[in-house]
């Protein structure tokens, strides 16, 4: 089914390219693959596209679809291909880079494109499509290459599927963490400071602290020890770890007094050095080091995206040093940790991938086989379904990635566990065995939430900013109806704050309905409205974000309710 959908979408990208060429003959063609949830095509257009162009292109596409032209494949020589695409410089580059003597071309109507397929039978097989957006994209993704115009679209087998996708897409726009983050005053990013660098405002910092406090507590409860490493290390360390060779282009490197240093993109070398600081016995293992480690990576500006892709972020990073025979049990423990934690934060669906040895790697093949076997056995022991991604592991070891699914069914990368036999050898890590010999430990690299920034972004979109009570930066707001009730409101505020309930008072000179609407817009779980009547009875009029008006209640009754929400993490 997925292959058929890819063929449908790839065919639609050809139809879009055909339509663009008919409307804008001077446009030069790039490439147009099917992607997750749709397709795109890259074009060189001197004055760029504008949103109004999409409607024109869709109209032309409808005509091409109505013509029901057959998709036909041809194998032609390179010479013929160069003649066919003589006015298309990007196609000529692609042809010249081909190793094969023949070139695959697909035609429909008068349009031809370089392509290996597959495609649907004819243009008339396209039943439901929509062009979505315009973006800039460097040719081959390299900033030194020309900037092209990319048109994104989507295509489905039926109008119903398309409408459902567009509905979810609109809902996703409403949940965009960048918009909600601004509306709720959670965080900001400033170009004058630098792209990809996040400022957490008071409410956002409090939300992050709540998440971090939970994570710290769970690590301590599960036998982890908290460590902290420096933010910069000499480049020699990164050479030893392999990052200098395999990851240098993503690192910030600089010199101090003639010696080269790097801002850490990973926490692992520091944890290796802490482990190596003294002699270890087999009786000491497993040792589990945990750090909320700040790291920096030199990401290209074009891939930065709110909290989801940044240059400076914090990982809930840990490294487990264990005996080879302990590895599978420790991996299972990590998987259980992930599942338990995600359930607390409201995620109950997962997608799990096992990624194997990449083309460029360190360590021996035997090490990779042992590491991959340990991960696979742990997954099999859990009875958890997973997919294998051949060649997608880290350069030092295979890995399990656990993607969580949010309220809209979208996948988010969070947790990972990597099994590593290579870095213990590179850092000469040892333990003394029962026999008194020096042996190598296995290292498990793992994160539960992943990047704190990305996880906060995920939470924002999952809950659309309406966090459960235990996570809400403001759990309750006291709203006096008139100035006469300010003193009573202050007494309620003082009592709630004394019970560690995160509470504010809205004493602005505004109408009651305006204040209620503001509290709803700010996604505050509870509103405690107080006026003359409430003050006389010693009660509050309670409104809940979900249920609405709950009537007059005693303050102790409200405290019992909210304490239950917090205790049960609702």
Active site residues: 268, 297, 315, 317, 319, 399, 445
Longest dimension (CA), the chain: 93
Q: Which tokens sit at 367?
A: 């090490």
Q: What is the dihedral of CA 528, 462, 303, 247, to 10 degrees?
A: 110
For residues 106 and 14, the answer to whether their CB atoms sit within 8 Å is yes
- The residues, ordered by sequence, that sit 6+ positions from 521 with a Cβ below 8 Å of its Cβ are 183
**H helices of 222-250, where?**
235-241, 243-246
CA atoms within 13 A on the CB side of 356: 12
Cα–Cα nearest to 285, from 426, 401, 429, 428? 429
Cα–Cα nearest to 150, from 29, 249, 255? 29
Strands (E), 198-251: 198-200, 225-226, 232-234
For residues 512 and 481, the answer to whether their CB atoms sit within 8 Å is yes
**Parallel, antiparallel, or unpaired for β 225-226 and 287-296?**
parallel
- The DSSP letter of residue 282 is G
Strand partners, 555: none
How far is it, in rounded angstroms, from Cα 370 to Cα 325?
A: 11
Phi, psi of 143 (to 5 degrees): -65, -20
For residues 426 and 242, the answer to whether their CB atoms sit within 8 Å is yes
3-class secondary structure, 196: coil
Cα–Cα nearest to 204, from 227, 226, 221, 180? 180
The burial class, CB within 10 Å (0-12 / 13-18 / 19+), for 263 is: middle
For residues 531 and 482, the answer to whether their CB atoms sit within 8 Å is yes
- Count the neighbouring beta carbons within 10 Å of the beta carbon of residue 502: 19
Residue whose token pair is 């040719």? 139
For residues 462 and 454, the answer to whether their CB atoms sit within 8 Å is no
Strand partners, 104: 75
For residues 469 and 565, the answer to whether their CB atoms sit within 8 Å is yes
How far is it, in rounded angstroms, from Cα 395 to Cα 422?
A: 9
């Amino acid at each position: 089914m997925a292959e058929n959908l890819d063929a449908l979408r790839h065919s639609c990208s050809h139809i879009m390219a055909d339509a663009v060429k008919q409307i804008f003959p001077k446009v030069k063609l790039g490439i147009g693959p099917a992607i997750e949830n749709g397709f795109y095509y890259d074009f060189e257009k001197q004055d760029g596209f504008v949103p109004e162009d999409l409607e024109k292109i869709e109209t032309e596409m409808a005509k091409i679809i109505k013509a029901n032209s057959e998709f036909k494949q041809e194998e032609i020589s390179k010479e013929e291909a160069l003649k066919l695409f003589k006015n298309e410089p990007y196609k000529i580059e692609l042809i010249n880079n081909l190793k094969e003597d023949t070139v695959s071309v697909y035609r429909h109507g008068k349009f031809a494109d370089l392509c290996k397929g597959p495609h649907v039978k004819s243009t008339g097989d396209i039943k439901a499509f929509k062009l979505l957006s315009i973006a800039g994209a460097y040719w081959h993704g390299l900033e030194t290459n020309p900037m092209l115009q990319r048109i994104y679209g989507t295509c489905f087998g039926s109008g119903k599927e398309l409408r459902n996708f567009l509905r979810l897409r609109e809902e996703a726009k409403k949940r965009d963490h960048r918009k909600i983050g601004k509306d709720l005053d959670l965080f900001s990013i400033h170009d004058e400071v630098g792209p990809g660098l996040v400022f957490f405002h008071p409410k956002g910092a409090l939300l992050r602290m709540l998440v971090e406090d939970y994570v710290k507590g769970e690590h301590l409860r599960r036998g982890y020890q908290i460590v902290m490493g420096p933010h910069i290390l000499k480049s020699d360390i990164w050479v030893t770890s392999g990052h200098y060779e395999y990851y240098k282009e993503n690192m910030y490197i600089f010199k101090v007094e003639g010696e080269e240093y790097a801002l850490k993109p990973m926490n692992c070398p520091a944890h290796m050095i802490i482990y190596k600081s003294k002699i270890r016995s087999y009786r000491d293992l497993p040792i589990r080091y945990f750090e909320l480690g700040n790291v920096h990576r030199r990401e290209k500006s074009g891939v930065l995206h709110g909290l989801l892709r940044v240059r400076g972020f914090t990982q809930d990073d840990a490294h487990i040093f264990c005996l080879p025979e302990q590895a599978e049990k420790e991996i299972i423990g990590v998987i259980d940790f992930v599942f338990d934690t995600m359930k607390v934060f409201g995620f109950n669906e997962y997608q799990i991938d096992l990624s194997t040895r990449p083309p460029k790697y360190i360590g021996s093949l035997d090490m990779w086989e042992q590491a991959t076997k340990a991960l696979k056995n742990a997954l099999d022991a859990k009875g958890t379904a997973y997919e294998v991604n051949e060649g997608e592991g880290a350069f030092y070891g295979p890995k399990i990635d656990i993607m969580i699914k949010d309220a809209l069914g979208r996948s988010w990368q969070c947790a990972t566990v990597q099994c590593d036999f290579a870095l213990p050898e590179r850092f000469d890590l040892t333990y003394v065995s029962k026999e008194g010999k020096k042996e190598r430990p296995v290292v498990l690299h793992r994160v539960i939430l992943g990047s704190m920034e990305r996880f906060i972004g995920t939470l924002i979109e999952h809950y659309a900013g309406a966090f459960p009570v235990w996570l809400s930066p403001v759990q309750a707001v006291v709203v006096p109806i008139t100035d006469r009730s300010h003193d009573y409101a202050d007494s309620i505020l003082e009592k709630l704050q004394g019970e560690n309930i995160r509470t504010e008072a809205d004493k602005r000179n505004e109408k009651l309905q305006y204040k209620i609407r503001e509290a709803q817009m700010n996604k505050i779980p509870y509103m405690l409205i107080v006026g003359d009547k409430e003050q006389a009875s010693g009660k509050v009029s309670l409104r809940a974000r979900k249920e609405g008006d709950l009537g007059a209640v005693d303050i102790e009754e409200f405290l019992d309710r909210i304490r239950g929400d917090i205790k049960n993490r609702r």
